[in-house]
Amino acid sequence: MNAQPVLDFHVRLAPRPGAARRLLATLDACRLTRAVVCAGGTVDLDRLSRQLVDGGHVESDADNDAVLDACAGSGGRLVPFFFANPHRPPEAYRARAADFRGLEISPAVHGVALTDPRVAELVAAAAEFAHPVYVVCLARDGATVADLVTLARRFPQVSLVLGHSGVGNIDFHALTLIRDQPNILLETSGGYTRVAEAAVDRLGAGRVLFGSEYPLQHPAVELAKFRVLDLPPEQWRRIAWDNAHRLLGEEKR
């Protein structure tokens, strides 16, 4: 497992001094080759955890500039995703999309449902730039995995990534919901080992992505989850490297 290169498909970078240096040091310590980076720190963790349970949202922008700056100085190791704010016109993303490699939409942060026309406008813009779209779902009307499936059917040309193994850490139901929707992949951070195992079995290794949600979760913990599964090397290669590069348009890397 350690002999194969690994791309962590989901880490966050908060706009704090030394954050990029600490991220790169963590990647080195875990022998991770590359990482997809989304902005963090848009909402403090106490408020975010309250929003996950009680609802609510912020309308502030993520610091996409900090992400872009960090990635520009990484020699290609860090891959920037644009964290969209659906409270802004889609032109805010479209005007800068060429500088980024993908898009994130989070109802958990901004509170805008996946059924909202503003989200559809963002996904339509992602299609223009061949960007994959990372989505965080919730157990809340308009933001469920079923709502993500509806969105994926509307935009079959866009690759959508269901983050954090679905909703909660035992979301086997999410695997059932997305199984027949081939343009949805699953990123595995946060879920239990059995969920990761079931994802490979039900979706196939070609639709599973390794991710850590650093700094909330240390990558070593997520790597351990796959280490105990003892997957065949060809399956781990797809999950840890090939699938991510296919979504990024870098299949030959």
Residue 3 has pLDDT above 80, yes or no: no
pLDDT given for residue 227 in this prediction: 96
pLDDT given for residue 252 in this prediction: 58
Cβ burial, residue 121 (10 Å; 0-12/13-18/19+): middle
pTM for this one?
A: 0.96
pLDDT given for residue 2 in this prediction: 54
> What are the pLDDT digits (tens) for 58-81?
898 999 999 999 999 899 999 999
Alpha-carbon distance of 195 to 159, in angstroms, equals: 21
Cβ burial, residue 178 (10 Å; 0-12/13-18/19+): buried
Confidence bin at 231 (pLDDT 50/70/90): very high
Alpha-carbon distance of 57 to 39, in angstroms, equals: 16
Using only C-alpha atoms, the chain has a radius of gyration, in whole angstroms, of 17
Degrees to nearest 5, angle at CA 18 with 225 and 1: 25
> What are the pLDDT digits (tens) for 165-215?
999 999 999 999 999 999 999 999 999 999 999 999 999 999 999 999 999
Alpha-carbon distance of 236 to 6, in angstroms, equals: 9
Q: Residue 92 in contact with residue 59, Cβ under 8 Å?
A: no
> What are the pLDDT digits (tens) for 82-136?
999 999 999 999 999 999 999 999 999 999 999 999 999 999 999 999 999 999 9
Confidence bin at 45 (pLDDT 50/70/90): confident
Alpha-carbon distance of 6 to 195, in angstroms, equals: 20
Domains of the chain: 7-248 (3.20.20.140)
Confidence bin at 18 (pLDDT 50/70/90): very high
Alpha-carbon distance of 225 to 187, in angstroms, equals: 13
